[in-house]
Structure 1
Amino acid sequence: MAALSVATTTVGGDGGGEAPASPHHVFSPRQRGGVVWLVSWAAMFSGLSANIYFPALEEVAKDMHVTYSTVLSSITIFLVLQGVSPSFWGPLSDVYGRRVIFVGTFACYVLANLGLLLSRSFPVLLFFRALQATGAATTIAISCGVITDISTSTTRGGYMGKNQMIRTTAQALGPAIGGALTLKTGYHNIFALLLAMGLGTLLLILIFLPETHRCIAGNGSVPLHGPHKPWVYSLRGQPHADASAERTPRPRLRPAAFLAPLRMLGQPTFAVSLFVGAYVFAVQSVALAVAARMLRLRYGYNVLEIGLCFLPNGLGCMIASLLHGQLLDTAFRAHEATYRAHHKLPLTIPITPTSAPSFPFERARLSIAPLILLSFALATGLYGFAFRGPLYWVLVCSFVMGAAQAMMLTVTGTLLVDVAPEEAASATAANNLARCALGAVATAVAERFVERLGIAGAFGTLAGGVVAVTPLLGVVWRWGPGWRVQRARRRERRREVEEGKRGVRSRADSGVSRVDVRDGEGEVVVEPKTEGEVVVETRREV
């Protein structure tokens, strides 16, 4: 019988001879903040392009000689492409980098606005609205990918809140700006404004935005070249550049990568979280789609006054996004402190799904979600009745709906990139796909839905739906951590098969509880000993 040779290696832990860990990212807090503001400004064009158009719907219908219901199809097609296009661009950014895709999609957006400015028939307008959505919508997914690249879970909630706040500020001001332009100069100047702003933002991206994807830039110290290098680095050099810096392996682009958002929708945690967030977004879409006509019929307002009535909704989104991001970080730090004390995990090890697979990400993010949903349900139910009374009741309900909807988007968006940081852009693309698909359907039927049930009955029914979906979050709270660990195990095993690696692999940051690898020459068992420490045992026949 052959003898068995066993070698044991301990990796990680608190060994005295271990080199200090490199920072998650070399950017200073000020530099990270600047990057977050720039990508969030770019991401705002998705919501701005949608909302700035709402007060002009009646004018577009008159100018193009089509019905109001037909004009609503331009919103539906925008939402469809807003949901679908990140599924294409997101995986590309996960392979080729954020900056390259940012530039490409923004160039597409600028061309679309030029086409809209020159359009004089509804089919042409519809085509360029689709192209506009294709370019603008992806910026949200890529901006979230950038934030994930440069932040840890401890600070990510605040950054995501700022991202949401900037985007929702544009959504708040968009209808008022669109109403003023439509009233004073005609709705075509809406697209002239977006064209000018888009060109300016594209220039800012080219000058200042560095590549952040960790497979290209590492933690920000890998020297950048070619299209990944911002123009400003050519003038003053790249700070913190280190030719010996490590980067994560670059994934290969496979056709299956474009189906990654759909695969995520098939995973329980993603499916449940995204459905709840998408339903809230769909209700909000119905409210915005019917608001312009209801305000004109009930109160006799012109397009500027209608645009101003959208401000409370956007203001609620803006305030809630900023404050709730800070609340998310505070809740996360409380859970983190408890977890580190219980597991004796040093501060030098960041909390990630791989370094801390048993950390309750789901509970840290979802702790106040039920209260948010119930507030949204109450405001939605009252919204329909508010049109029977003074305008201020409509505005109050609209404010609360906007605030609650923004909070839920921040919660679900942050949770998704927490549990899948290696696929941040694809996770955000899945988020966009779910909410925009449901929002497109809701917008398409909004007019007939309200006509059949009445404004009060329609929004009462939608509010009941919000109450009905709220308990679904308890499913993620209870079983989400287990699903996440199972997903990590499948991912690690799939990665080993794809890479075809042989022999001992040290995986101190793996979330896998135990992996057996057989390569024909022996057996390797990788099993964690303590948090941050892995025992690698190699058994070979001799």
Structure 2
Amino acid sequence: MITADASSSSNEHSNALKNPYEENSREETVISEENAEKEAVDDLHLYSVKDKMSLKRKWFILTIVAMQGFLGPVTSSIYIPAIAQVRQTFHTTNITINATISLYVFVIGLMPLFWATFSERYGRRIIYILSTALYIAATVGCALSRSVGLFIAMRALQATGASASQAVGAGTVIDLFNQQERGNAMGFFLLGPLIGPVIGPIAGGYINQYIGWRFIFWILCALGGLIFILILFFVPETSAIILKKRKIAGSKERFIHQEPLLKSMSKPFIFLTKLSVIFATTPYSIAYGFMYFMIASLPQQLSTHYHFTSSQIGLSYLANGTGNAVGAVLSGILSDRAIVKKNVPEARLSVIWLGIIILPMGEVVYGWCSQFGIHVVSCLFGLFLLGLGVGLVQTPSNTYISDIYPKYAASVMSTANLLRCLSAGFTPLVAPVLIPAIGNGWSMTILAFISAASGICVFLAQRYGSIWAKDTKWL
């Protein structure tokens, strides 16, 4: 009995010694599995280029990327002054030739959803190279087109190539700059989407007038070629995730985790369900769409009430473009200061309120001054305020969503780009119907009320954004 009891006691004692280790082992395994992704992200700073490049080199790379980002917006509008000549060349209708504009806007809004996914999966550099090469080839195709069908197809491919930087560029900003520097950098990068649509008609009008519409595309081809060379020699891979994968591939650890392609491609669409993204980008999408409303209506207003020539109308867009540039850069600087004072991403959104105030003012001033033919300086001042308001709204909005989803910066920016392009594609269709019905003054006043009301989205994003940003379901 004593032996049996001793044996039983010995077994119990042995189990008591063994079980804690076994339990700890199981717990460690569970913790390891749960934290695997977190640990993988936590060590990305070891591969980040933020602290390995000089500030001068960062800004040089950003300048090249911004030039690539400028291609898409300027190409969308540069041949608008030559539409009549293009229609005559191809012996087609207004509806058909206008389809080249609508198709371009649609493609440039949609394709960044896919470019963003590929950049996060395969790297930024390869996407810049491939997309710019595609843009050059398609632009040559536009210049050499002998039928309207081929011209439309080449415009679609041109938009596909030009659209990549609209999303991938935001990822490069996140790769290169710390949070306290991103606002200024993002503001500089986003100058392209703002001033491109304004500069395009000015340049296109003069090129078409003196050397013909085909040379518009040859000049764009030369610009694309210059950017391609700069990217090829001076833009390295900047994604920490890609650099880490390459490091692992070169080591003894041959297995590299790669999520399924369909899951990667779904991310930009998933962001359409995230309240943090929707509420932060809605004010900018509205502002950008209303800017295109102005772009579509301005020629008729200036020619009717001020008897401006085509070249004078083109130069008038500079008032809006100047406001855009000032607003984009200024809001970037202010949002960086805001993030330094209060180190939370939502601090950037406070700068948007300046745009929410200034944008409606510009819309009202431009609308009523143009309708009653008040001195053209007052009309141009309204255009400047309108552009300033759009710029002040844009940079903080885009920088904020990149801050809260830094790992998926390209994907979330492609989502914002889609919303922006949908708005910009819709409002020019409304202008020819609304303005003749109620006048430019009341039309712009309605837009001003909507712009002011978008401040509700800013308020909600500031209040609940930090909570909504924690929702990473399906990502």
The alignment status of 1:373 with 2:399, answered yes or no, reads: no
Q: 2:67 aligns with which of 21, 41, 44?
A: 41
Residue aligned with 2:342, SS? helix
Displacement of 1:308 in angstroms is 0.9
Residue aligned with 2:163, SS? helix
The alignment status of 1:422 with 2:407, answered yes or no, reads: yes
Maintained 8 Å contact 2:354/2:389 = no
Which residue in 2 is equivalent to 1:404?
389
* Cα gap change, 1:374 to 1:74, in 2 (>3 Å): farther
* Cα gap change, 1:286 to 1:73, in 2 (>3 Å): farther
Q: Which structure features the higher share of helix residues? A: 2
Maintained 8 Å contact 1:76/1:443 = no
**Which deviates more from structure 2 when the two are superposed, residues 400-409 or residues 91-100?**
400-409
Q: Which amino acid aligns with 2:222?
A: A
Q: 1:104 aligns with which of 120, 126, 130?
A: 130
1:254-333 map, 5 Å: 254-333=261-340
Displacement of 1:195 in angstroms is 0.9
Which residue in 2 is equivalent to 1:354?
none
Maintained 8 Å contact 2:334/2:351 = no
Count residues in correspondence: 440
Q: 2:114 aligns with which of 65, 88, 93?
A: 88
Q: Which amino acid aligns with 2:358?
A: S
> Aligned partners of 2:47 and 2:145: how far apart in 1?
51
* Cα gap change, 1:217 to 1:402, in 2 (>3 Å): same
1:353-364 map, 5 Å: 360-362=344-346, 364=347
> Aligned partners of 2:379 and 2:94: how far apart in 1?
22
Which residue in 1 is equivalent to 2:58?
32
1:42-76 deviation line (CA, Å, top 9, x unaligned): 11111211232343345545555666666544332
Q: Which amino acid aligns with 1:361?
A: P
**Which deviates more from structure 2 when the two are superposed, residues 417-426 or residues 271-280?**
271-280
Which residue in 2 is equivalent to 1:148?
174
Maintained 8 Å contact 1:144/1:160 = yes
Which residue in 1 is equivalent to 2:102?
76
Q: Which structure features the higher share of strand residues? A: 1
* Cα gap change, 1:69 to 1:470, in 2 (>3 Å): farther
Q: Which amino acid aligns with 1:139?
A: S
Displacement of 1:366 in angstroms is 0.7
Maintained 8 Å contact 1:164/1:318 = no
> Aligned partners of 1:37 and 1:224: how far apart in 2?
31
Q: 1:484 aligns with which of 466, 469, 474?
A: 469
Residue aligned with 1:367, SS? helix
Maintained 8 Å contact 1:282/1:435 = yes
Displacement of 1:175 in angstroms is 2.7
Displacement of 1:282 in angstroms is 0.9
What TM-score does the superposition give when structure 1 sets the normalisation length? 0.74
1:96-495 map, 5 Å: 96-165=122-191, 168-218=194-244, 251-336=258-343, 360-362=344-346, 364-387=347-370, 388-389=372-373, 390-487=375-472, 490=473
> Aligned partners of 2:310 and 2:225: how far apart in 1?
27
1:220-256 deviation line (CA, Å, top 9, x unaligned): xx7799xxxxxxxxxxxxxxxxx88x9xx76434213
Structure showing greater Rg: 2
Structure with the greater relative contact order (CA < 8 A, sep ≥ 6): 1 or 2?
1
What TM-score does the superposition give when structure 2 sets the normalisation length? 0.84
Maintained 8 Å contact 1:55/1:304 = no
> Aligned partners of 2:366 and 2:90: how far apart in 1?
31
Residue aligned with 2:398, SS? helix
Maintained 8 Å contact 1:116/1:129 = yes
Maintained 8 Å contact 2:323/2:388 = yes
1:251-286 deviation line (CA, Å, top 9, x unaligned): 434213222222101111111122222111111111
Q: Which amino acid aligns with 2:345?
A: F
Maintained 8 Å contact 1:365/1:411 = yes
> Aligned partners of 1:297 and 1:263: how far apart in 2?
46
Residue aligned with 2:111, SS? helix
Displacement of 1:453 in angstroms is 2.8
**Which deviates more from structure 2 when the two are superposed, residues 117-126 or residues 171-180?**
117-126
> Aligned partners of 2:310 and 2:266: how far apart in 1?
41
Q: Which runs of 5+ in 1 are unaligned?
A: 12-18, 226-242, 337-359, 495-542
Residue aligned with 2:158, SS? helix
